[in-house]
Structure 1
């Protein structure tokens, strides 16, 4: 299996069927491309990451110092972090997403804006010229990377952590690799009131997940079908990679999420291992 994910929109079986049914009205794009920016903002901007942010807060130091958030997206976690009084550097690669993030940040009070720096960079290879007490990456984001890119991520994080600083990762618990393909579908309502359908096909044996999002209204014109493929590396694999690449994994804690429980999520807390003099 190749470590490189497909670039551009994925031709999922579900997407192909939809496009065939709508004819010339059909438009295919990747969920993170400019063509789907309106859909992304409609579905993601108001996502409430408060519960997940609290999970991170329970593992960060009481005074975490400057926090680096990787793959910040539209700020689902960033703004709850800012509400906690943290100083946050939000790192994101997509220009379209960053533009929307900056517009959202501009609506915040001046003191909140002053505590948030926005950086356009690749989470698998970045150099910011400063160190942070805490580096965080949210659920799913690390699954955008293949194994080679994850090694770049770990190396970059090590270079940006203060001595004793923490690397916090929220990870999804996936099923066993020998289980068969699984499919699920749900309807989502965006902040605009428009309804969308999300179809997800997970293939544990291939460690991939194909996502297809399209209008719930069959007569939509254009009928935009956005797809995306991501990795589903297990929490166990990520922990093994962290140890391999110079971290000590301190804890792996199931989500509490304010008492509601998230048995499908775990928060991993790691610190960079000290390199002894003369070690390779």
Structure 2
């Protein structure tokens, strides 16, 4: 069994590594997600040997580029911070995701303040974060602040577990049959995010005969991860729920069909969370087993204890 390992800014786990000697402990990461993943903490600024507390670092515009300098004294730390970031990259090849500290000049993923002649503008990316995103463009990456949004949190965790499943497939040794089986399991999850991507990936696998398997696998994951990053809409989920409902049309009574259809419609209208029709569908699946439906990742994309679909 392959461990689901997630990189994380060390301050989010409560380590007192910030410039002011404090931390930014994330309750979600430490209390909920930690039950399901192995965290790999890192603070690139501590990797510079600066200690904590230390002078704050700022991103400063210099001509066409951006430099990382200390707010006191103006020491330019751009080169050493980039070197520390690059040195850390090879050890992250087996990670399934990464959670970054927002607003940090090293770890901020977006809208980091960049200082110039007219003051600070929230337009930058931390130097470590930029290195990570460039080196591993398919890796699920998110900031802890954005994880407060229920939709963004659910999407990140979904991609985290999907990418881990792909890593397991690659680690076990891919084959045409295994790629097709993987695609079959992810059918409805992918359809809820992008029906077009599901169709494109199906065509890719249908035309892989004669092509190098490694090239097909690389093209598959390069399309899968961006597709899953698209937030699934209520319309997308409703469409999938109606497809799943069709598997029970011959076994449910008229009142049961009406109840399920009503829950799906209430979800579509925003009156119920996604968990309501899903719970009934999973109940019917236990009562009327269907092997193909049981394998669908859409029904159980991550542990229920994370309670991610309660607010969708």
TM range (shorter): under 0.3
| TM superposition score normalised by structure 2 | 0.21
- Greater Rg, structure 1 or structure 2? 2
Instruction: From the two aligned structures, give the one with the greater strand fraction.
Output: 1
Structure in which a larger fraction of residues adopt helix: 2
TM-score (norm. length: structure 1): 0.23
